[in-house]
Amino acid sequence: MIDRHFLRQNPKTVKASLVDRGDDPGKVDQFLVLDRQWRDDLKKVELLRREKNQLSAGSKPNATQLRQAKAIAKQEGVLTKRISALESELEEILLSIPNLIDESVPRGAGESANKVIKTVGRPSVKSGLAHHELMTQLGWLDLKTAAHCSGSRFRYLLGDAAVAHWRLMSEALTLARKRGFSPVIPPSVTRYLTLQGAGFFPTYKEDVFKLENEDRYLTGTSEQTLLALSAAKHYLPDELPVRYVGFSTCYRREAGSYGKDVEGMFRQHQFDKVELVSVTRPEDSAKELDYLVQTQEQFVKLLALPYQLVSVGSGDLGQSASKKIDIETWFPSQQRYRETHSASNCTDYQARRLNIKLKRSDPQSEFAHTLNATLATERLLIAAVENSQRSDGSVKLPKLLR
């Protein structure tokens, strides 16, 4: 959530950020109108309470004073109710406004502004069969049975692919620990407020599976529950950064991706993921983003996969991200690079919602910065499969996954 005081004082800046994201700048005007009314009503209530206190001061009130006090109480009740309604409307608007975009982010609609920073490695397999074709004929993947018992976008990983999957996740966790991240296996079920605090609700509510008749949801990434470990905490400067690496099974409805990547494992309702989360001092978050990306690159290089590093444009950023860097790995079957990793600097956007603060030596405290990054998902496994295929349809996986 952005700072409402900043929004009052810098409406043009917030509007420009919304426009660059392809969002509605009218939210700012709507907020300012309601905010002005809210503050005016608060002043009116304060004046009424002073007047009421003056009437009750001193000797026993007479009939006229009692009538005045009753009228004041009625006015105060009406205003208090309106203030409560205004607060709800203001919070709804604030929750819908995404993070401010970092100055270094390329501007443009959708993916059009995404900028390739560098390309690493050359594809040795220029084209070939898709991962699901290779894996099915090798007995490594059963999509048919998964569709029968669970529905579309689910999978059975079998044999060597199952082993490779475990190795992939294990090696990612090992690297993360070497890089200073504390391992966590978090819950895969959480509550509305956790998802709201992480910046996913209400914007991405349609992409989340909900347990019927309960305030419980299946997590789409362990980022959400890893951040909850720091909620309402006040850190001293020398306690940061805090770094977590989480392994979890993730669930996504993929509500906005109808017709996209319908074959194979590229876009699934259920998948396993190793996620990195950092909490830092504000002045260190830019450097921490570099550290996260370096960790991701180190892991992709262990698999000898060709990839490109991409600075994500303003129209393709997530709600919480101020800046986002993607790794896109080469997929021979598509003859193009596809996203396998993301790393985001969310500045104080999530910390403000979750009340994660930094307490310096002076009496004032400030909000910390939070960041997140993908280290391994099954997309990386299928990229390894496609890039390890031979002309006869066999696959020799990287040694790390065997």
Query: Between the CA atoms of 235, 240, 242 and 243, what dihedral angle is there, to the nearest 10 degrees?
Result: 160
As given in the structure block, the two tokens for residue 248 are: 């979890």
Known active-site residue 267: yes
Task: Name the percent of the chain in helix, strand, coil, to the closest 5.
Answer: 45, 20, 35
Main-chain dihedrals φ then ψ at residue 367, nearest 5 degrees: -80, 140
Chain centroid to CA 306: 26
342: annotated active-site residue: yes
> Does 379 qualify as catalytic in the annotation?
yes
Residue 107 CA to residue 102 CA, distance in Å, equals: 10
Q: Which residue has the tokens 């605090």?
A: 197
Catalytic residue among 342, 344, 352, 353: 342
Catalytic residue among 252, 281, 352, 353: 252
In this structure, what are the phi and psi dihedrals at residue 44, rounded to the nearest 5 degrees? -65, -40
Which residues lie below 8 Å from residue 72, measured CB to CB, with a gap of 6+? 48, 51, 52, 55
Give the Cα separation of 298 and 257 in Å (integer).
Answer: 30
Q: Which of 51, 239, 254, 339 is catalytic?
A: 339
The CA distance from 160 to 304, in Å, is 19
Among residues 21, 153, 281, 379, the one annotated as catalytic is: 379
Catalytic residue among 82, 107, 267, 338, which? Answer: 267
**Residues annotated catalytic, as ranges:** 252, 267, 339, 342, 379
